[in-house]
Every structure is written in C-alpha cells, then in structure tokens.
Chains A and B, each alone.
Chain A
Amino acid sequence: GAGVSQSPSNKVTEKGKDVELRCDPISGHTALYWYRQSLGQGLEFLIYFQGNSAPDKSGLPSDRFSAERTGGSVSTLTIQRTQQEDSAVYLCASSLVQAPYNEQFFGPGTRLTVL
C-alpha cells in the first residue's frame, strides 16, 4: 500500500496565524509520531500516539502546539499563534507497535515557514 503521506508539503504563514499539518499513516500502523527538524539539525521528538492509549506529549515545546489522532488513523498537528522560531520541517512517522523493535516509516514532511 501507500506510504506515509503529509499535507501540505509546504506552508508559508504569517506570524501569529494558526496552522494545521496533516499526516496519513500507513494503514494498519497503530503508532504515529511527530518530529520537528530545524535547518541542518537532527529530529526533535514532539508527540507519540499508540493505539487508544494517552499520547506521549513530552516533546511538545509549548502549549501553542497540540495534536490529535482521529479514529486511530489520520493525525493533525496544530500550531497556534505561530512564531518565526516554529519554522522547520515537520515530519510524521508510523510503525507497527506490535514489534518491540520498531522501524519507523517517515512521510516526506511539511516545510513550515513563518514570516
């Protein structure tokens, strides 16, 4: 089947506006992750969903960031009142949580630019 998809691929917004980023995981993958990658840097973990369990939100940088996963499938990452430092590539990944050693499958990312 198809891999992980993300939309939009690019988003340019003005400081102070809200943005929504979407992730469609691989069908049947019960674990879903959001990461942020600033230019030339590694991946910064944001949030992790596993089945119906409470999400691990330990990586969210501020209360302006939130995410939800509806029906155990599609996920939306929302950034409110965007700031210039939010500019980055936002990557989504999914995996089979049943595997104790999980390979994560990544989407192509959304490049967010806050002017």
Chain B
Amino acid sequence: SQQGEEDPQALSIQEGENATMNCSYKTSINNLQWYRQNSGRGLVHLILIRSNEREKHSGRLRVTLDTSKKSSSLLITASRAADTASYFCATGDVKGAQKLVFGQGTRLTINP
C-alpha cells in the first residue's frame, strides 16, 4: 500500500500564482523526496529533505517537513505553464533508506 498521500489530488491555478501541495505519511522516515512526472512517463527528482531538516529551497521550490505531524509541503512560487505535471512525494523509511515509497500524486495544471 502507498504510504504517502498527496493533497489535493488535483490543483488548477493561473500562471504566476503560487501552488502548494501537501503530503502525509505514516511511518518514521529518514528522508522525503519530491518528484515531477510529465505526461505519465519518467519521473524527475526535484528536491530531497532529510528528517532533521525543516525547510529547504531550490529555485522556485520550497519544501517543508514536519516530522511531528508526519507531513510535508511543496510550494512552487510564480508558477509557469511548464510546471504543469503530476507531483509525487516519496519517503525513505528508517529501516530501508534505499527503498522509496511513493504517494498517489497531485495533478497540477497551470492555466496561461
């Protein structure tokens, strides 16, 4: 079964607005990662945050992690049409750091 659950399942916003996606998980983790998928094919790694980190930035991306609530958020600022994709969170379990468990994803649509 999937551990990560993204919220919302789908999000549609206007270009230039900020997009926020959330991820919840159930077990103890040592890291959480966000991936993007275009057109239902290969995934691209966006950002990784370790369990002892609370916030991380990469360009227009900002990721937060709250291990007490077992949740993470991905913020995309100043969205662009090219950001249209599905976004997945994936968790690395403390027992098996090399094995990632993916959520169901959030489908993000940026309207021009």
A residues sitting closer than 8 Å to B (CB atoms) are 4, 31, 33, 35, 37, 39, 41-45, 48, 50, 56, 89, 91, 93, 95, 97, 100-109
Contacts and interface: CB of A to CB of B under 8 A. Distances in A.
A100 B97 contact: yes
Interface residues of B, number: 27
B101 A102 contact: no
A50 to B, nearest CB: 6
A8 to B, nearest CB: 13
Nearest to B102: A43
Given A41-B104, A42-B2, A108 B30 contact: no
Interface of B: 2, 4, 30-31, 33, 35, 40-45, 48, 50, 88, 90, 92, 96-105
18 contacts: A4-B42, A35-B102, A41-B104, A42-B2, A42-B103, A43-B88, A43-B102, A45-B102, A91-B42, A95-B98, A100-B97, A102-B97, A103-B48, A104-B43, A104-B45, A105-B45, A106-B35, A109-B42
A48 B33 contact: no
Contacts of B30: 100-101
Contacts, number: 67
- Interface of A, helix, strand, loop or mixed by DSSP: strand
B99 A42 contact: no
A37 B41 CA distance: 9
Nearest to A92: B42
Contact of B42 (A39, A41, A56, A107): A107
